[in-house]
């Protein structure tokens, strides 16, 4: 989400006549886009700001801004205590950046952290300078009304609002014209998307018809209202990836209740069973929190057993990090000792690595359609891409290029990647043997 937001800010700045520099040392303005989701995300930002402080010592004219989720919470500290930051801009106020920058020309400070009920930046075409030119994010909604008890997002990003479908489709058409091959639709809670009559399924349907050679993913849905019609659409549309990120957070009813996740373990597992039934070969990933308030050993074991039962292909696993303003902060105690949290997180991660290793070994001999994202980090002689099921696949470079679709056969695997033998360059339509009728 922050990558997508930075691209919106990029566009606003370019529109205002600015250009990007090659390095921080030569910049007149440095903006740091921040995340508040966990303590260590904020720690990273503080460290970055310390680095920038040394630049400010050698360049008196340097203007520094903090953007995004940390803005509201720490605006006083940032400006007064740190004496480092000149502007502070919340996630709904990016259009105001040029005005704020003009205001601080004479050494004053400027702040806009107002949240909005409407802002979706629908009319701003993001300028994509950081991506790989092959895959891209498109933001479809902002904010979140779910109020999970551990989560600060509803407070930092405000109320849920959807971007008009037409502007989303226009952006995807533009990406298509620019040669992009993969689009991930983004929102804090994508299946709450509503634009008048259009549901998230209607949006996916319309998006996937724009160009049958563009693959679509989305992140993240909520298990509480995952629509059946979307599962059927994914099953029948070749360019909707057979991959769903579906955050569970925990595996016991008691913990889910404390987390204010409105589903039971059984309902979640029923949803997973249905997903696997409707979409053969489906790949799944999840988010898990270890050591949330009051977590017992039994509850931890239930999280472990849920993960074992589902057999996720990928998981994002976190130790609980208390966030001010959340319900958990106000009502519960962050009472699982740090070393217990760490131990449980390690157990969860180790088990997940083992599951991934086993699942990936079973891939040996399978064929996949891989979209090439670039050369492998390890070797120029190898290409790296992802399968429809979101697995990272490495194979010999030959004369393949970024943005090619390549059919491969898996020859080896680890818990994180698949190694493969390239068979042929192809297209999505050719590979799946059917065109999508618009
Ligand atoms: N502590 C740890 N993890 C958190 N997440 C959200 N809030 C917290 C927190 N306070 C995780 C959830 C969410 C993901 C984006 O971040 O698992 O799905
Ligand atoms: Fe946070 Fe829950 Fe909203 Fe996700 S659904 S952003 S975890 S409040």
Find the ligand nearest to 190 CA.
2
Q: What is the pLDDT of residues 104-116, one digit of tens each?
A: 987 788 999 999 9
Q: Rounded to the nearest whole angstrom, what is the distance from the C-alpha of residue 365 to the centroid of ligand 1?
A: 36
Same fold for the pair 135-361 and 367-437: no
Partner residues linked to 426 by β-bridges: 405
- Cα-to-centroid distance, 215 and ligand 1 (Å): 27
- Average confidence (pLDDT) per 10 residues, the chain, 438 residues: 94 96 93 95 91 88 93 77 84 96 87 94 89 93 96 95 97 96 95 93 98 97 95 97 98 98 98 98 98 98 98 98 97 98 98 98 98 94 97 97 98 97 97 65
> Domain limits of the chain?
2-112, 135-361, 367-437
Domain 135-361: CATH superfamily, name plus number = tm_1862 like domain (3.80.30.20)
Determine the atom of ligand 2 nearest the C-alpha atom of 189.
5
- Contact between 43 and 323 (Cβ < 8 Å): no
* Tokens 């818990």 sit on residue: 415
* CATH of span 2-112: 3.40.50.12160
Q: Does the C-beta of 287 come closer than 6 Å to ligand 1?
A: yes
Selected from 3.20.20.140, 3.40.50.1580, 2.40.50.140, 1.10.287.1400, the CATH number assigned to the domain covering 367-437 reads: 2.40.50.140
Contact residues of ligand 2, CB 6 A cut-off:
144, 146-148, 151, 153-154, 188-189, 222
Question: Looking at the CA of 246, which ligand is closest?
Answer: 1
Cα of 52 vs centre of ligand 2, distance in Å, is: 31
Residue nearest to atom 5 of ligand 2 (CA): 146
Q: Which two tokens stand for residue 387?
A: 């399968």
The answer for residues whose C-beta is within 8 angstroms of residue 362's C-beta and 6 or more apart is none
Please provide the distance, in angstroms rounded to a whole number, between the alpha carbons at the two ends of the chain. Answer: 30
Question: How far, in Å, is the centroid of ligand 1 from the Cα of 306?
Answer: 18
- The burial of 153, by beta-carbon neighbours within 10 Å (0-12 exposed, 13-18 middle, 19 or more buried), is given as buried
The model's pLDDT over 298-319, given as tens digits with 9 standing for 90+, comes to: 999 999 999 999 999 999 999 9
Ligand 1 near 302 CB (within 6 A): no
Residue 321 in contact with ligand 1 by CB distance below 6 A: yes
Q: Which two tokens stand for residue 429?
A: 């339509």
**Pairing status of strand 382-387 against strand 367-375:** antiparallel
What DSSP string describes 150-211?
T--HHHHH-S-EE--HHHHHHHHHHHHHTT--EEEEE-TTGGG-EETTEEHHHHHHHHHHH-
- State the Cα torsion 363-366-371-375 to the nearest 10°: 70
Judge contact between 410 and 420, C-beta under 8 A. Answer: yes
Q: Which two tokens stand for residue 152?
A: 């600060």
Per-residue pLDDT, 107: 77
Q: How far is the CA of 202 from the centre of ligand 2 (A)?
A: 23
Per-residue model confidence (pLDDT) at position 438? 43
Q: What is the pTM of this model?
A: 0.95
Tokens at residue 184, please? Answer: 């991930």
């Amino acid at each position: 989400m922050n990558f997508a937001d930075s691209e919106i800010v990029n566009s606003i700045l370019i529109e205002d006549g600015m250009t990007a520099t090659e390095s921080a040392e030569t910049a007149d303005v440095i903006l740091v886009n921040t995340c508040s989701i966990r303590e260590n995300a904020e720690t990273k930002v503080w460290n970055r700001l310390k680095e920038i402080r040394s630049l400010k010592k050698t360049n008196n004219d340097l203007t520094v801004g903090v953007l995004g989720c940390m803005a509201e919470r720490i605006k006083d500290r940032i400006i007064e205590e740190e004496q480092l930051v000149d502007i502070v801009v919340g996630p709904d106020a990016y259009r105001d950046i040029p005005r704020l920058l003009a205001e601080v020309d004479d050494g004053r400070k400027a702040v806009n952290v107002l949240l909005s009920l409407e802002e979706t930046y629908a009319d701003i075409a993001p300028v994509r300078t950081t991506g790989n030119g092959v895959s891209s994010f498109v933001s479809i909604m902002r904010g979140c009304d779910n109020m999970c008890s551990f989560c600060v997002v509803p407070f930092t990003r405000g109320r849920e609002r959807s971007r008009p479908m037409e502007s989303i489709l226009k952006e995807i058409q533009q990406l298509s014209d620019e040669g992009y091959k993969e689009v991930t639709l983004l929102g804090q809670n994508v299946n709450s998307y509503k634009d008048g009559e259009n549901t998230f399924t209607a949006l996916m349907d319309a998006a996937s018809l724009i160009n049958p050679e563009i693959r679509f993913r989305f992140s993240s849905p909520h298990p509480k209202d995952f629509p059946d019609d979307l599962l059927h659409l994914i099953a029948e549309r070749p360019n909707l990836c057979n991959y769903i990120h579906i955050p569970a957070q925990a595996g016991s009813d008691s913990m889910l209740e404390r987390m204010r996740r409105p589903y039971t373990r059984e309902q979640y597992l029923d949803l997973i069973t249905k997903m696997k039934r409707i979409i053969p070969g489906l790949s799944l990933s999840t988010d898990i929190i270890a050591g949330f308030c009051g977590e017992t050993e039994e509850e931890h074991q239930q999280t472990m057993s849920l993960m074992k039962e589902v057999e996720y292909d990928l998981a994002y696993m976190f130790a609980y990090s208390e966030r001010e303003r959340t319900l958990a902060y106000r009502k519960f105690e962050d009472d699982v000792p740090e070393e217990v949290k760490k131990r449980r997180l390690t157990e969860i991660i180790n088990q997940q690595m083992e599951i991934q290793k086993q699942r990936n070994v079973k891939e040996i001999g399978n064929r996949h359609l891989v979209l090439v994202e670039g050369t492998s980090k390890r070797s120029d002689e190898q290409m790296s891409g992802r399968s429809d099921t979101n697995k990272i696949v490495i194979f010999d470079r030959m004369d393949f290029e970024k943005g090619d679709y390549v059919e491969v056969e898996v020859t080896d695997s680890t818990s994180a990647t698949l190694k493969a033998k390239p068979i042929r360059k192809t297209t999505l339509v050719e590979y799946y043997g059917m065109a999508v009728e618009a």
